[in-house]
Every structure is written in C-alpha cells, then in structure tokens.
Amino acid sequence: MPIQIIRQDITKIKCDAIVNAANKYLIAGGGVDGAIHRAAGPRLQAECLKLGGCNVGEAKATGGYKLNCKYVIHTVGPKWKGGNNNEAEKLESCYKSSLELAKEKGCESIAFPLISAGVYGYPVGEAFEIAQRTCADFLKENDMTVYIVVFNRSALEFSSKLYSDIREYIDDNYVEEQLELYPRSLNIERSISAPAKGFAGSMAVMDEMPCESASVPEFKIRDESFSEMLLRKIDEKGMKDSECYKRANIDRKLFSKIRSNPEYKPSKQTVLAFCIALELDLDETDEMLLKAGFALSNSILGDVIVEYFIKSKNYDIFKINEALFAYDQKLLGSVA
C-alpha cells in the first residue's frame, strides 16, 4: 500500500523498518529516539555504538530487537536554522537514504516519524510536506507501504492561506445536521442484472416479444459500471494505469482487482481518490461516485473538504490528505 498518515506511537507499529530521528553520535537521546531505544532494549544502543556515528542526511540500519520490526533505520535530520542552510535538501536526503536502505534490505513497509520536527525545530507543516513529497517520489518507481507517523496532530500548522480558505469554505458549506428529507448522501445500492460477458454498456431493449410467451421477459438493463467508467476515463485522459493509481495513492494490487472485476464495489475514499487523480470536476465526480452508490454530502466534513479542493482545481492528493488528517477525517486512497 502507498502512503498512510497515521497518529500513533511509532514504537507500537508493526512493519519491516522503523525510522529513528537520531543524532549524529547514534547515542540514545530524547524524543522519538529515546522512545525507540527504550522500547527496543539496550542491545540496540550496543549495536549503534559499533556504527561509528552517522552524518546529517544519511541513514544506517540496525536490528529491531524488542520492537515489532526487523530493522531500525537511524537517520540524522538537520537542525532548523531559519531555512537558508539547505535544511530542506538535508531533510529530503534523510527520507531518500532511509527509503533506499530499506529497499536494499528488502523491506516492504517502513514507518517514519516527522524527522527534525521536534527538538531540531523544523516547522512541522514544512517537515510534513517534505516527508510526503519525498516518499511519494520514491513510490513512483518503487513498491513499499510507507507510514508517516504524526505523533501530535495539533502540531501541524493550520495558519497558512490554504487552511484559512478551507476553514472559510467549511463555514459556508458544512451543515452539521442534515434536516432535509432527501439528503445528498444517497448510498444507493443499484440493482444490476447480470451482464452478458463483453456487453458494452448501453441499454438493450427488445422491441418484439414473442406472443406465445406468457411470462414477461427480463430486460437486461446494464449501466457502465464504476470500473468500466474508471478505465474509460483513464483512456480519455491519455494516462497510464500506473500514473493514475499512483496519483490516487492507491495500491497496485487494489487497482488490478478493480481492473479485472467490472462489478468491483469500491469504498467512497477509493472512488474519490480516483476522481482526484483524474482531475474530474464536481459534476464528473458526482457521476463517478454515483456509479459506486455514493454521493458527496455537505453534512460530512471530509466531503466538504474534498469538494473545496475540487472546486479550487487543487488535485494534489497529499495536500488533500493532509487537510483531511488535520480535520480527523478519512483519508483518500488505500487506507489502513
């Protein structure tokens, strides 16, 4: 699965590699480093001492000991000195080196804390952005499940222009209690009669009925299904499948399931992720959601946020997920 943003103690995560925001001496300190060493036990420190330290932006691996992981990857983040000291490049390099090392070790999953965003003083929003971008770039060429662990949700900064715009949009559009008789959220389970294989999708209507037949024949009415619509839209946009599912933050395996099963029933988050990847406008999004039996609702905060991004033509799934995470809403794409 691709990137998952979660709020948890990183020492409790079960995955192949846990990344430690270490110092260059690789000697147990405070913050996440202290937590990892405490949970792993003293043998972790003993192995660290044999590694001869680590430079800023680089990464070194040890065993996981008592942690639920095979490896701890120690990387040293830059200290924030105002932003003009190549902090961004160095921080990017921490993620890249750790991911490359995890790949070399055959890891299929890795969990990152927000490196440098604690004692080293990196602004949390920017650190989070770099974490997401660098991991997303890596995942364009590689398959791995990447967890970005945000320990303290409130640490994310919501002071930017984007967040004040989102807040304004929510104030104008979010309806806490839906009093309408017919809410926008339809959740329609469509009854579709089983299609003949290869049937392209328009309505098949019989104009003549054999008069001997007493029983009413079953009309085969067959709409284009969600997965058929998805594949058509991908073609229309001239996209490659892989480009589409990666932009949607969707797992390759999930995409092949959808591809091979015309009747696949996706979750709402999966549908929305594809709408974003395909850069659909609001009407097209409504249409695609309906194919899967869903609709956007202005009484669901997450829907209002996604709607804001679509209306602003901002189709960056990672920014959208960051905003959804900030508001404690379900994220788009493959989610845990």
Phi, then psi, of 62 in degrees rounded to 5: -135, 180
Cα separation, 273 vs 126, in Å, equals 23
Q: Which range binds ligand ADP by CB under 6 A, 108-116, 198-206, 217-225, 228-236?
A: 108-116
The binder of ligand ADP chosen from 16, 19, 33, 322 (CB under 6 A): 33
Retrieve residue 317's tokens: 């799934």
Q: Which stretch binds ligand ADP (CB under 6 A): 9-17, 130-138, 168-176, 209-217?
A: 9-17
Minimum Å gap between C-beta 124 and ligand ADP is: 6
Report d(CA 135, CA 139) in Å as an integer. Answer: 6
Question: Of 25, 151, 163, 174, which lies in the binding site for ligand ADP, with binding defined by CB under 6 A?
Answer: 151
Closest to ligand ADP by CB, 11 vs 297, is 11
Choice between 152 and 193, CB closer to ligand ADP: 152
**Residue 125 near ligand ADP by CB under 6 A:** no
Least distance from C-beta 156 to ligand ADP, angstroms? 10
Of positions 116, 227, 249, 285, contacts ligand ADP by CB under 6 A: 116
31 is a site residue for ligand ADP (CB under 6 A): yes
Q: What angle do CA 37, 41, 47 make, to 5 degrees?
A: 75
- Residue closer to ligand ADP by CB (options 80, 264) is 80
Q: Distance between CA atoms of 59 and 80, rounded to whole angstroms?
A: 19
CB of 147 to ligand ADP, least distance (A): 10
| Residue 244 in the binding site for ligand ADP (CB under 6 A) | no
Distance of closest approach, residue 131 Cβ to ligand ADP, in angstroms = 10
For residue 51, the minimal CB distance to ligand ADP (Å) is 18
- Of 114-122, 159-167, 174-182, 205-213, which segment contacts ligand ADP by CB under 6 A? 114-122
**CB burial readout 181-215, b (16+ within 10 A) else e:** eeeebeeeeeeeeebeeeeeeeeeeeeeeeeeeee
- What is the DSSP code (8-state) at residue 194? P
At position 187, the amino acid (one-letter code) is N
Residue 10 interacts with ligand ADP (CB under 6 A)? yes
Q: Is 119 an interacting residue with respect to ligand ADP (CB under 6 A)?
A: yes
- Token pair belonging to 60: 């070194």
CA 5 to chain centre: 7
What is the pattern of x (binds ligand ADP, CB under 6 A) and - over residues 152-191? x---------------------------------------
Q: Which residues contact 76 (CB under 8 A, 6 or more apart)?
A: 21, 22, 23, 24, 54, 55, 56, 57, 58, 94
**204 to each of 200, 223, 229, 283, 295, how far by Cα in Å?**
10, 10, 18, 26, 27
- If binding is defined by CB under 6 A, does position 118 make contact with ligand ADP? yes
Q: Which amino acid is at 293?
A: G
- 120 lines the binding site for ligand ADP (CB under 6 A): yes
The residue ranges that bind ligand ADP (CB under 6 A) are 9-11, 21, 31-33, 35, 77, 113-120, 149, 151-152
